[in-house]
Amino acid sequence: MRQPVPAAVPRARLGEAPAGGSDSGAVVSLRGAELSYGTRVVWQGLDLEVRPGEFLAVLGPNGSGKTSFVRALLGRQPLSAGTLTVLGGSPREAGRHVGYVPQQAELSAQAMLRARDLVRFGIDGHRFGPRPRTGAVRRRVDEILASVGASAYADVPLGMLSGGERQRVRIGQALATDPRILLCDEPLLSLDLNHQRAVTELVDARRRSHGTAVVFVTHEINPVLGLVDRVLYLAPGGHRIGTPEEVLTSESLSRLYGTRVDVLRVQGRVVVVGAPDGPAAPPHHTHETAHETAHETAPGAVPQTEEVRP
Ligand SMILES: Nc1ncnc2c1ncn2[C@@H]1O[C@H](COP(=O)(O)OP(=O)(O)OP(=O)(O)O)[C@@H](O)[C@H]1O
């Protein structure tokens, strides 16, 4: 792993045995985890510990279970086997300490909300009863908007913001509860390169300053390649966990997909050639332990298309 614990993070936050963490200090711990919908096994045999301040990228083709992984961490989707603890307890109990940046959401319900409203929901939306509208809350909202560079459009309805501006506000909303874990589900979708960079820098700054663990689902590794400590690669044939250098190799992805996949490194970028990315991934039929061993490939995991992902 590259730099599992950012130097800027106070030791108490990183926690050798932090309150609300597991014995190992992990903020997320999965053991033999399996997630199924009916008879459809999406992933299985998942053993993973995410540490404070770690940046974990979750990669994989359409339908490989990336969003389901995030939903499990949020306590919205139960495992079908194995165990999952978040901050040492159940995912639901940990909810208040988990920030969530969803995929670019349907805007219709939020279009008239102002940026500051969304961030305020992040602060007090979890609470029952009357919401405090104190000066302290207003000041906190302003601080958060400033920290994500969104002060200039604090009072603009979301429907009038660009995709990149909205993502800044959503990150602000996710940071409003001072989370120890930040879950981001494809936050870069439909953003141009400048906005991708701005969003990834915001997320990285947060984990470096506060030791917030980041679980970052993405189709595209390159915008976060320099930040990622480890990759969880979900594929039709199983999964693999390791550093980008370990996982993103021709040998590793060829084993995961059960077909020839070439991983090229061009000017510091990763280019994957030949990985199928169809929406209908077949169910798993085999599994092994994670880390250095790729799972066997399920029958039928044959590429329909050849894809180059720059
Ligand atoms: N609530 C559900 N009930 C039944 N099947 C589901 C449900 N949610 C997801 N699935 C199926 O589980 C599989 C994994 O879905 P998931 O959305 O987690 O994949 P993903 O990797 O995030 O995909 P994408 O990259 O397309 O967003 C898919 O085959 C999907 O159709």
Q: What is the pLDDT of residue 11?
A: 33
Q: What is the pLDDT of residue 82?
A: 97
State pTM to two decimals.
0.81
CA of 94 to the centre of ligand 1 (A): 24
Nearest to 272 by CA among 293, 288, 290, 257: 257
Under DSSP, the state recorded for 139 is: H
The domain ranges of the chain are 11-309
CA of 14 to the centre of ligand 1 (A): 33
Which residue, judged by its Cα, is nearest atom 7 of ligand 1? 37
User: Taking the alpha carbons of 223, 225, 231, 234 in that order, is the dihedral positive or negative?
Assistant: positive
ipTM of this predicted structure: 0.98
Tokens linked to 106: 């349907």
Q: What is the pLDDT of residue 19?
A: 46
Phi, psi angle pair for 147, to nearest 5°? -65, -25
Span between the terminal Cα atoms of the chain, in Å: 24
Q: Is the CB of 60 under 6 A from ligand 1?
A: yes
Q: What is the pLDDT of residue 18?
A: 40
Q: What is the pLDDT of residue 30?
A: 98
Which residue, judged by its Cα, is nearest atom 25 of ligand 1? 62
Ligand 1 atom closest to the CA of 103, numbered from 1: 27
Which residue, judged by its Cα, is nearest atom 16 of ligand 1? 65
Q: Is the CB of 66 under 6 A from ligand 1?
A: yes
Provide the angle, in degrees to the nearest 10, between the axes of the packed helices 163-175 and 115-124.
20
CA of 72 to the centre of ligand 1 (A): 12
Which residue, judged by its Cα, is nearest atom 8 of ligand 1? 68
CA of 66 to the centre of ligand 1 (A): 8
Task: Give pLDDT tens digits along the chain (310 positions).
Answer: 444 444 444 333 333 334 455 667 899 999 999 999 999 999 999 999 999 999 999 999 999 999 999 999 999 999 999 999 999 999 999 988 999 998 866 666 677 889 999 999 888 765 444 555 678 888 999 999 998 889 999 999 998 998 888 888 999 999 888 899 999 999 888 788 888 888 899 899 999 999 999 999 998 899 999 999 999 999 988 999 999 999 999 999 999 998 999 999 998 899 999 887 632 233 333 333 333 333 332 322 222 222 333 3
Q: Do the Cβ atoms of 111 and 161 come closer than 8 Å? A: no
Q: What is the pLDDT of residue 295?
A: 33
Tokens linked to 296: 């066997």
Q: Give the span between the Cα atoms of 56 and 229, in whole angstroms.
A: 6
Q: Is the CB of 36 under 6 A from ligand 1?
A: no
Query: DSSP readout, 214-283?
Result: EEEE-S--GGGTTT-SEEEEEETTEEEEE-HHHHSSHHHHHHHHTS--EEEEETTEEEEES----S-PPP
Beta carbons within 8 Å of 267's beta carbon, 6+ residues apart: none
CA of 139 to the centre of ligand 1 (A): 39
CA of 101 to the centre of ligand 1 (A): 18
Output the CATH code of domain 11-309. 3.40.50.300
Ligand 1 atom closest to the CA of 65, numbered from 1: 18
3-state secondary structure of 146: helix
Q: Is the CB of 218 under 6 A from ligand 1?
A: no
Q: Give the span between the Cα atoms of 61 and 218, in whole angstroms.
A: 10
Mutate to test the pocket of ligand 1, among 34, 36, 37 (most ligand atoms within 8 A of CB): 37
Ligand 1 atom closest to the CA of 61, numbered from 1: 25
CA of 68 to the centre of ligand 1 (A): 6
Q: Do the Cβ atoms of 202 and 187 come closer than 8 Å? A: no
